[in-house]
Amino acid sequence: MRPSRVLILDSQRAVSGALAVALRAEHDFEVVDAVHTADAATAVLGIRDVDILLLDAELLRGDGVDLIRQLLLRRSDRLPIVVMTDIDDPRLATAAVRAGVSSWVPKRLGLQHLMSVLRGARNGESWFPPPLLGAVLADLAHPQPSPAEKKISGLTCREREILQCMVNGFDRTAMARHFFLSSNTVRTHIQNLLGKLDVHSAQEAVALAARAGIGCDEAPDARPLARLNSHVSP
């Protein structure tokens, strides 16, 4: 089997240089390049064949998940991403896994362990430190909220109730009677929730609610709403 072609992405030149020297000393690794920015890595992935990306976890802080997605856009096939890190953050690790990272290797485990993980990555294997693995698996067991669900989670309880009424087809007058509010107060709630959902009409808000899995008559106390059918606009 030919050597595994490794691209190193590390913001510290001394670290990436040392890693390149160590990997080149092994017969089963070929260092394609050692770069220091995501843009440089993206350029390399666009013109060179790479089997494994070795990535410094410090680059994952902030918009790191977007960085991974940016790098993977250059690939139509699977690219194992091995992260070397001093960070034991389950949330960051979970986000990285969702974005496409396959292994998470603490630097304290040493160079030989890192090389072992890189060899496994070539064969489709993944590796995480056991204490972190349990937390990551627990996080992955919970479905990630959709963009629509995230927006709706920012609404107040009253705004969610108003949104549910909109989904059920009730007009502002019917909502005002149900909640014992003035029509102007209901209008203010509607304007606020439209702003939070980043939509411009009730129709768009209802469509977003549908994408979040909100259907008709799911509101608490649905029967009083049903009695307001005579106030619903056709």
Three-state SS string over the chain comes to CCCEEEEEECCCHHHHHHHHHHHHCCCCEEEEEEECCHHHHHHHHHHCCCCEEEEEHHHHCCCHHHHHHHHHCCCCCCCCEEEEECCCCHHHHHHHHHHCCCEEEEHHHCHHHHHHHHHHHHCCCCECCHHHHHHHHHHHCCCCCCHHHHHHHCCCHHHHHHHHHHHCCCCHHHHHHHHCCCHHHHHHHHHHHHHHHCCCCHHHHHHHHHHCCCCCCCCCCHHHHHCCHHHCCC
Give first-to-last CA distance, the chain, whole Å. Answer: 70
Between 183-197 and 157-167, two packed helices, what is the crossing angle to 10 degrees? Answer: 90
Pairwise CA distance, residues 210 & 123, whole Å: 42
pLDDT of residue 116: 95
Q: What is the dihedral of CA 215, 168, 197, 154, to 10 degrees?
A: -70
Pairwise CA distance, residues 138 & 113, whole Å: 25
For domain 4-140, give the CATH number.
3.40.50.2300
pLDDT per residue as tens digits for the range 147-182: 888 899 899 999 999 999 999 999 999 999 999 999
Per domain, the residue ranges of the chain are: 4-140, 147-231
The 10 Å Cβ neighbour count of residue 131 is: 9
pLDDT of residue 133: 85
Pairwise CA distance, residues 193 & 195, whole Å: 5
Pairwise CA distance, residues 56 & 53, whole Å: 10
Contact 97/141 with Cβ under 8 angstroms? no
pLDDT of residue 221: 46
pLDDT of residue 63: 62
pLDDT per residue as tens digits for the range 180-210: 999 999 999 999 999 999 999 999 999 999 8
pLDDT of residue 120: 94
- Residue numbers of the chain with a pLDDT score lower than 50: 218-234
For domain 147-231, give the CATH number.
1.10.10.10
pLDDT of residue 98: 82
Q: Which residues pair with 8 in a beta bridge?
A: 34, 54
